C-alpha cells in the first residue's frame, strides 16, 4: 500500500518532462485551470480588445471502424481582463480544449491541449502578431472560422455570445468600407 501511495505522489514529477518549455504548469491530478496573458509579440498590450474562443471536446465513446473516437464540441467566448490576463476553467468531463485568440488587426493564434494526468494548472501566454494585411486575413481566415460558431448549432454556443461574434464581424466589415 505504501509503494502505491509513493508512486501516486511521484507520478506528476515523472510526467512533467513530457511538455515543451513554452508551457508553464504546476503539478496536479488533472488539468482544471488554464491561465495566461494575451499580449503583442513585443510584450506590449494589444491596441484592440481581444477575445478567446474556447472549444472543449467531449468524448461520446463511439468508436468507428478505423479506430477513431467521436467527439462532441462545445464552444464559448471568454474575454481577457484589461491587462490581457485570462483564466479559463477546463471542464473535468472534456478530454481536450482548443483556445483561439482573436483581436482586430492581429493574426489569430490557436492553442490545443489534451487533458493530462499530472498537470494541475496550465499557464500559457498568447503572443499575437500584428497583421499587415488584416482585411485579407479577416475575409479569408478569421471570418469563416468565426461564422461556423454562429451557423452550426453543434457547438452549443449561447445566443448572447453568437450575437457578440456577429456584431464584432459586422463592425470589422464596416471599418473596411470606411477605410476605402
Q: What is the CATH number of the domain that holds 82?
A: 2.60.40.10
Domain-located, residue 149: no
Q: Residue 108 half-sphere exposure, CB side, CA atoms within 13 Å? A: 20
Q: Are 138 and 106 in contact (CB under 8 A)?
A: no
Q: Is 64 helix (H, G, I), strand (E, B) or coil?
A: coil
Domain count, the chain: 1
Q: If pLDDT is split at 50, 70 and 90, which confidence band does 64 have?
A: low
H or E, element range at 106: none
Contact partners, residue 116, CB within 8 Å, separation at least 6: 15, 18, 30, 31
Domain range for 20: 2-131
Domain-located, residue 173: no
Q: If pLDDT is split at 50, 70 and 90, which confidence band does 51 have?
A: very high
Domain-located, residue 80: yes
Domain-located, residue 96: yes
Instruction: Report d(CA 37, CA 114) in Å as an integer.
Output: 20
User: Is pLDDT above 80 for 107?
Assistant: yes
Q: What are phi and psi of 49, to 5 degrees?
A: -75, 135
Instruction: Report d(CA 118, CA 25) in Å as an integer.
Output: 10
pLDDT of residue 17: 47
Grid coordinates belonging to 141: 481566415
User: Of the candidates 145, 143, 132, which has an alpha carbon nearest to the alpha carbon of residue 172?
Assistant: 143
Domain-located, residue 109: yes
Domain-located, residue 123: yes
Domain-located, residue 31: yes
pTM of the model: 0.80
Domain-located, residue 144: no
Amino acid at each position: 500500500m505504501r509503494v502505491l501511495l509513493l508512486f501516486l505522489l511521484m507520478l506528476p514529477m515523472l510526467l512533467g518532462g513530457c511538455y515543451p518549455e513554452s508551457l508553464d504548469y504546476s503539478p496536479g491530478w488533472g488539468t482544471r485551470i488554464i491561465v495566461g496573458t494575451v499580449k503583442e509579440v513585443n510584450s506590449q498590450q494589444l491596441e484592440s480588445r481581444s477575445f478567446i474562443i474556447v472549444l472543449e471536446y467531449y468524448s461520446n465513446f463511439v468508436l468507428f471502424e478505423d479506430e477513431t473516437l467521436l467527439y462532441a464540441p462545445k464552444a464559448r467566448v471568454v474575454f481577457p481582463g484589461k491587462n490581457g490576463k485570462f483564466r479559463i476553467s477546463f471542464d473535468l468531463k472534456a478530454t481536450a480544449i482548443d483556445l483561439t485568440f482573436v483581436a482586430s488587426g492581429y493574426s489569430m493564434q490557436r492553442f490545443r491541449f489534451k487533458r493530462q494526468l499530472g498537470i494541475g494548472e496550465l499557464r500559457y501566454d498568447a503572443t499575437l502578431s500584428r497583421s499587415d494585411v488584416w482585411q485579407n486575413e479577416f475575409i479569408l481566415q478569421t471570418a469563416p472560422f468565426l461564422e461556423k460558431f454562429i451557423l452550426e448549432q453543434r457547438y452549443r454556443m449561447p445566443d448572447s455570445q453568437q450575437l457578440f461574434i456577429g456584431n464584432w464581424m459586422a463592425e470589422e466589415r464596416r471599418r473596411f468600407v470606411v477605410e476605402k
